[in-house]
Chain A
Amino acid sequence: MMKKPTKLLLVAAALLTLAVANAQTRVNVWIYESFSGNDSPISKAAAEFMAQNPDIEINLIPTASTSSAYRDPFMVAAQGGGGPDVLMADIAWSPEFAAMGIVKDLSGHMAGKEDEFFPGPLDTLRYEGGIFGVPFYTNALGMFYNKTAFQEAGLPLPDADWTWDDFRTAVDTLSDGEMYGFGLEGAWGGTFEWYPWFWQAGGQLLSDDGTTPTFNSEAGLEATRFFLDIVTNPRYVPEAAKTWKGWAELAAAFSNKVIAMYEVGDWGIAMVDGMNPPFEWGVAPLPANGQRASLVGGANWVMNANTKVEDAAWRWLEYVTGPAVFPLMDGYNRVAARRGAAEAQEIVKNDPRMQVLTASLEFAKARPTVPLWTTVDYDCLQPAFVRVILEGADVTSEMANAEMCALDVLR
């Protein structure tokens, strides 16, 4: 039997909770600028959510999504005690945020929900036993190819079974002096496009404990030699690719028949379509080498460690990554990182090109989720690749250099 005062206190507490719950809780949400606009799908989703949860106000704040306008300001703000409550974040930023302690460990909330998401995107949120966000959308790299050029050259069209040798033959045949067989984002040494080839050869980037680089292996050398042999051939890849680092240049080069193939994900479809290429084109999975692989990209939701409205923020995340995410992502031509996306999303059902890319998600991998991997990529792998491309350096010795460098960074 409770004593009277305790009971009274309990009632008061309950009333107080009710009162607080009745006041609107405002959740500040950063979204990528490209997701914004009047009547954008996400503002409709927010309106729907607020109709269901009248106690919560979702304040969408579209922010330019380049690293210097999005990642850096969030880092500064969160470390200075401010910033939005929740935000979309590139999967490559998630481990950095987690390690800095500026986003919340959501493993409590995520308990029992892990199976609802694709494992690849979810892995990008795991850090030291915690789960530091919720997967939002995902994508995998495939190969865009100029179908007309393939047919005119008498080449078989790439299908799910094509191999490295088929790819090399195609590049060689299609590079006819007018057109180049292949194009890539060379400003970064092409490491972004290289990852899948590395995994297809059976390579592993890091030891399981995430502390030792293991990319300088037999498999690593095989893949890197194969890949850079093509990239360094001035007949196969245009000189201009050395400075390309945006997808627009590649889409334009592809649509203008400068390059016959390039690696890209689902975001490339609308870009190429928008340029009305005067030829037929298609999407193939990346060529295999005994095994298949692709690279996972996409975005997660993360929650600012400073937030004072965790419960409301979580309810929004739960909603926006729940079943409502399928129609939402249809509106953006993206694939949700939630299981069942391929079956539930109209854009996948209606577009065979999307189906190829979605099927590639099955074997797509994420880059290592140690927070310094970006640094290893920028400071070790890229210089090695660029030295091979610009100075004709030897792949074997450059991979050894990159390994030393990575050891130093990860120490």
Chain B
Amino acid sequence: MLKRGQEGSVAPGATDRRPGRLHRSWPGYVLVVPAMLALVGVIGYPLVRAFVMSLHKIILIRPQLGQPFVGLENYATVLKSPYFANAIWQTFVWTSVNLVGQLVLGLLIALLLNSAFPGRGIARSVMLIPWVIPSVVAVLTWKWMYDGQFGIVNSFLVRLGLIEKGVAWLGNTGTAMGAVLIESIWKGTPFVLIMLLAGLQAIPAELTDSASVDGANVWQRFRYVTFPFLKPTIVIAATLTTIYSYNNFNAIWLMTEGGPLRATETLTILTYKLAFRNFDMGSATAAGVLTFLVLLVFVVIFGRQYVKSQMEF
């Protein structure tokens, strides 16, 4: 029983209850098509247009140049720029720390809030707050809390005797990334939490019960019962967290604008700067497509896990 779950070949809670054979009839397409149409029309079309733009030279402040086709020139420009390499590295740090932080925290808190205790509903609702606060306001509040003079973070740390006087956390190259990451993990964890809580609900209670009757300790119960069941949900959560962190613009832009000295300049920030500060739409969209390709690698690695698990039906 436990062994089977371990193979991780299932969607939440399906171990020994595989759905029957799939129906090979046309209604499947009818059901799927409306959503696909919405996606293709609303996101696909602008995406294609953006891709076409990346093959043209489009300097917004030089309209007299027209928009000549330049093939892959924009890609070469972007790839040659030292800022691009930096942005890849910052993006890697940004995305991976966000991913690990949000998943670990989200999982721990989900397990905590899944156990029975009075006030659990309230706790779940309170945990949702960071995610619900409009992101612009949340980010500005954090920026203020980090302020070297007026910020509560510094005031607290000074009172604890951990630092002597206020530090401009967002203003130093060594601390800016960490400071922005804390905000973003704080804001993103509730989303992971909700997904995992939903996933945990699908685990049949008699499984965990029988495991504890068998004398399994907390870790063993998690390792051999909870985790295998939760794995598909974790894979989805990981994939989505990767995507959303990767594309997170507000947190970094409003706190540091990618600074100081590009210490927090991710690909998304670089892309925005190319488009709205340098007015080079061609290079910006090329950077966007490259961003897309880099992320694709991640998603294929994660996503293959998911697809593989689904293929076995």
The reply to whether chain A is a binding partner of chain B is yes
CB distance from B22 to the nearest CB of A (A): 44
Residue B21 lies at the interface, judged by CB distance under 8 Å to chain A? no
Tell me if A383 counts as interface (CB < 8 A to partner B): yes
A327 within 8 A of B: no
Residues 126 to 178 of chain B near chain A (Cβ within 8 Å) = 143, 146-151, 165-173
Query: Within 8 Å of chain B (Cβ to Cβ): is A161?
Result: no
Residues of B near A239 (CB, < 8 A) are 148, 165-168, 171
* Contact A378-B277, Cβ < 8 Å, known A240-B168, A372-B61, A386-B261: yes
When chains A and B are docked, how far (Å) is the Cα of A390 from the Cα of B263? 12
**Is the Cβ of B60 less than 8 Å from the Cβ of A243?**
no
Give the CA-CA distance A372 to B165 in the complex, in Å.
39
- A187 surroundings in chain B (CB, below 8 A): 171, 257, 259
Q: Which residue of A lies closest to B257 (CB)?
A: A187
Please measure, in the bound complex, the distance between the C-alpha atom of A387 and the C-alpha atom of B150, giving whole angstroms. 25
Query: What residues of A have a CB within 8 angstroms of the CB of B277 in the complex?
Result: 374-375, 378-379
Task: Report how far A96 CA is from B63 CA in the complex, Å.
Answer: 12
Given known contacts A242-B260, A386-B259, A99 and B61 CB-to-CB distance under 8 angstroms: yes
Given contacts A240-B148, A378-B277, contact A390 B260 (CB under 8 A): yes
What chain A residues lie within 8 Å of B172 (beta carbons)?
242, 390
By a CB distance below 8 angstroms, the chain A residues around B261 are 383, 386-387, 390
Q: Which of B150, B165, B173, B276 contacts A72, CB < 8 Å?
A: B276
Q: Which residues of A contact B61 (CB under 8 A)?
A: 96, 99-100, 371-372
Contact A243-B166, Cβ < 8 Å, known A249-B147, A374-B277, A378-B277:
no
B24 at the interface (CB under 8 A from A): no
Indicate if B186 sits at the interface (CB-CB under 8 A): no
**Which chain A residues border B278 with CB–CB below 8 Å?**
372, 375, 379, 409
Which one of A68, A242, A374, A387 contacts B171 once the chains associate, using CB atoms below 8 Å?
A242
B146's nearest neighbour on chain A, judged by CB, is A243
B17 at the binding interface (Cβ < 8 Å): no
> A75 at the A/B interface (Cβ < 8 Å)?
yes
Residues of A within 8 A of B166 (CB): 238-240
Which parts of B242-289 form the interface with A (CB within 8 Å)? Answer: 253, 257, 259-262, 276-279
Contacts of B18 in A (CB 8 A): none
Q: Is the CB of B165 within 8 A of A243?
A: no
A101 at the interface (CB under 8 A from B): yes
The dominant DSSP class at the B interface is: loop
Contacts of B260 in A (CB 8 A): 242, 386, 390
Q: Could you count the A-B residue pairs with CB atoms below 8 Å apart for me: how many are there?
A: 82
Number of interface residues of B (CB under 8 A): 30
B62 on the interface (CB 8 Å rule)? yes
Identify which of A101, A186, A243 contacts B143 (C-beta below 8 A): A243
Q: Tell me whether A96 and B279 are in contact (CB under 8 A).
A: yes
Near A by CB (< 8 A), chain B positions 182-224 give none
Question: In the complex, what's the smallest C-beta–C-beta distance from B244 to chain A, in angstroms?
Answer: 19
Answer yes or no: A79 CB below 8 A from chain B CBs.
yes
Total number of A residues with any Cβ neighbor in B under 8 Å:
34
8 Å CB contacts to B: which residues of A350-395? Answer: 371-372, 374-375, 378-379, 382-383, 386-387, 390-391
Please judge, given known A-B contacts A249-B150, A387-B261, whether A243 and B171 are in contact too, CB under 8 Å.
yes
In the complex, chain B residues whose CB is within 8 Å of the CB of A143: none
Chain A positions within 8 Å of B62 at CB level: 99
Task: Give A99 to B147 CA distance when docked, in angstroms.
Answer: 37
A327 to chain B, nearest CB (A): 35
Residue on A nearest B167 in the bound complex, by CB: A239
A243/B63 in contact, CB under 8 A: no
Q: Which residues of B contact A390 (CB under 8 A)?
A: 171-173, 260-261
Whether A29 is near chain B, meaning CB under 8 Å from some CB there, is: no
Contact of A243 among B170, B262, B276, B279 (CB under 8 A): B170
A228 interfacial contact with B, CB 8 Å: no
Question: Shortest distance in angstroms between B87's beta carbon and chain A's nearest beta carbon?
Answer: 14
CA distance A79 to B149 in the complex (A): 42
Q: Which of A68, A96, A239, A243 gathers the greatest number of chain B CB atoms within 10 Å?
A: A243
A122 in contact (CB, < 8 A)? no
Shortest Cβ gap from A197 to chain B (Å): 22
Question: Least Cβ distance of A96 to chain B in Å?
Answer: 6
A373 to chain B, nearest CB (A): 11
| Interface residue A252 (Cβ < 8 Å from any Cβ of B) | yes
Complex Cα gap A382–B168 (Å): 18
Residues of B within 8 A of A75 (CB): 60, 276
- Besides A243-B147, A390-B172, 18 new A-B residue pairs in contact (Cβ under 8 A), listed by A number: A99-B62, A101-B63, A187-B257, A187-B259, A239-B168, A240-B147, A240-B149, A242-B148, A242-B168, A242-B172, A243-B148, A243-B169, A244-B147, A371-B61, A372-B61, A383-B262, A386-B261, A390-B173
Name 13 interchain pairs, CB-CB below 8 A, sorted by A: A96-B61, A96-B279, A100-B63, A101-B63, A187-B259, A238-B148, A240-B150, A241-B148, A243-B143, A249-B147, A371-B61, A372-B61, A390-B173
